[in-house]
């Protein structure tokens, strides 16, 4: 299970250090050997353990009703995804096209969200926190 919130900077080669707490929770037999960077349901970039990504994609596809929906799903998700293996220093290289698509550069917020990670800009995360704070206030 992936937990926590971290701020890490992309280096000059667009590599992102995966927090040690996340790496410590990684089990190759359960998760695979890499993350799959893919568009998430909330419009941000998600990092899925490759085995979990395959399970999720199969589950979503099996719930689609028509062949057209399957084709649209496959053409939307897979071309916009990338396999991002760990390097020897525990970093992953996020392709430029994904960083550009999701407006990520400099410092990135990494959220551990149970079975995957989500990446956000610092500004996006601050806005989310403010919305949550405002929603919790009594009227």
Q: How many CA atoms lie within 13 A of 118 on its CB side?
A: 17
Q: Determine whether 110 is exposed, middle or buried from the number of CB atoms within 10 Å of its CB (0-12, 13-18, 19+).
A: buried
pLDDT digits (tens, 9 = 90+) for 2-28: 999 999 999 999 999 999 999 999 999
The tokens describing 5, both together, are 């919130």
Local mean pLDDT, 10-residue blocks, the chain (139 residues)? 96 96 95 96 96 93 89 93 97 97 97 97 96 81
**Domain 5-136, CATH:** 3.40.1550.20
Q: What is the pTM of this model?
A: 0.91
114 Rama class: left (phi>0) / alpha (psi -120 to 50) / beta: left
CB of 35 within 8 A of CB of 92?
yes
- Residue extents of the structural domains in the chain: 5-136
Backbone φ and ψ of 58, nearest 5°? -65, -40
């Amino acid at each position: 299970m992936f937990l926590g919130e971290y701020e890490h900077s992309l280096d000059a080669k667009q590599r992102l250090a995966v927090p040690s707490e996340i790496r410590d929770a990684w089990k190759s037999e359960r998760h695979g050997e890499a993350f799959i960077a893919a568009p998430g349901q909330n419009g941000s970039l998600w990092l899925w353990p490759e085995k979990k990504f395959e399970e999720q994609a199969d589950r979503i596809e099996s719930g689609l009703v028509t062949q057209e929906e399957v084709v649209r799903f496959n053409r939307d998700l897979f071309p916009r995804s990338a396999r991002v293996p760990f390097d020897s220093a525990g970093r992953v290289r996020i392709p430029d096209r994904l960083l550009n698509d999701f407006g990520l550069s400099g410092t990135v917020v990494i959220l551990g969200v149970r079975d995957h990670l989500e990446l956000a800009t610092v500004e996006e995360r601050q806005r989310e926190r403010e919305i949550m704070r405002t929603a919790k206030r009594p009227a």
